[in-house]
Amino acid sequence: MMTGIIFDIKRYALHDGPGIRTTVFIKGCPLRCVWCHNPEGQSPFQELLVRPDRCLEECDLCLEECPETAVSKVQNIVRIDRRKCRVCGTCAAGCPSEALAIVGRRVTVAEVAEDIFRDEPFFRQSGGGVTFSGGEPLMQVRFLSGVLDACRLRGIHTAVDTSGHVPWTSLDGIRQKVDLFLYDLKMMDDSRHRDLTGVSNAVILENLRRLVRYGSRVVARLPLLKGVNDGADHVEAAAEWLSALGGIERVDLLSYHALGRDKAVRLSRPGMPADFLPPTRRDLERIKKRIQAFGLEVRLGG
């Protein structure tokens, strides 16, 4: 029985493709973007998340329940020794205030498909469908392919939100099952891309070329951070490259938000800077005009 690990299912999503959508978040990502807004999607495995603000002052149940003695309290704040923790979930199961929680759950293709099917009336009324995001959904490509098959049998519109940093064989295996790719371009300069994401962009650009060559519908998405990748050098390089590529349906400008910072702390994820800012509305309008000058359709937001 085909299974995968997901970390969320978001209903009534309005920015992950056309219409009203159900977005399935699949765990695992090959990138380590310094601004990541879903750090809980980076690891392909289940993780223990700590919410210190929910911890009850006089409660020590988690310390008593942990079989690995990986839980401690410092000034009434729960600490997890990640070297000892096996993510068994015992502490989270016994926590009365949900200060501890397991991120990620193993599910079958049939379970996820059934969850998606519940929203079919909204899809039909709005021209929506299901979007697979993450993390990087293609990190669990066999699981993703199985859910795509189930949705296609029901005539549900399918979209995949991808970084593109996956083997071409993975994309090639699902591209005919996907109605729309939402494809991130984070930085055109390869050296800067390595600095900001931990990987080269060579595979990302080559995979996008191939998707367009084979006729896949693609919306390019530019996540933008003020002073990081909103300058003319990156914006015009991306616009020029996408224009020459041809076949791009639209370019979406995605403004940075800081939702990932608190989650990174709760997962004991080090090295998440706290000083990024989103571009201003004026910045976004300026960028939009620059890209439109290359003959591309542009939209603010997803």
CA–CA separation, 133 vs 163, rounded Å? 10
CA–CA separation, 254 vs 301, rounded Å? 5
Q: Where are the domains of the chain?
A: 3-44+105-300, 47-103
- pLDDT tens-digit readout, 173-191: 999 999 999 999 999 999 9
Q: Which of 271, 237, 279, 300 is nearest to 36 (CA)?
A: 271
Alpha-carbon radius of gyration of the chain: 20
Same fold, 3-44+105-300 and 47-103: no
The predicted structure's pLDDT at residue 72: 86
| Average pLDDT for 52-72 | 86
Q: Does domain 47-103 have CATH number 3.30.70.20?
A: yes
Q: What percent of the chain has pLDDT over 90?
A: 74
The predicted structure's pLDDT at residue 265: 78
Lowest average pLDDT, out of 73-77, 88-92, 119-123, goes to 73-77
Lowest average pLDDT, out of 63-72, 91-100, 272-281, 292-301, goes to 272-281
- pLDDT tens-digit readout, 210-225: 999 999 999 999 999 9
| Average pLDDT for 205-214 | 98
**Confidence class of residue 1 from pLDDT cuts 50, 70 and 90?**
confident
| Average pLDDT for 141-165 | 98
Q: Look up the CATH number of domain 3-44+105-300.
A: 3.20.20.70
Average pLDDT of every residue of the chain: 93
Question: Residue 211 CB: number of other CB atoms within 10 A?
Answer: 23
- pLDDT tens-digit readout, 256-284: 988 778 888 788 776 665 578 999 999 99
Cα–Cα distances in Å, from 291 out to 71, 126, 302? 51, 29, 16
The predicted structure's pLDDT at residue 160: 98
Which residue's entry shows tokens 């009203």? 20
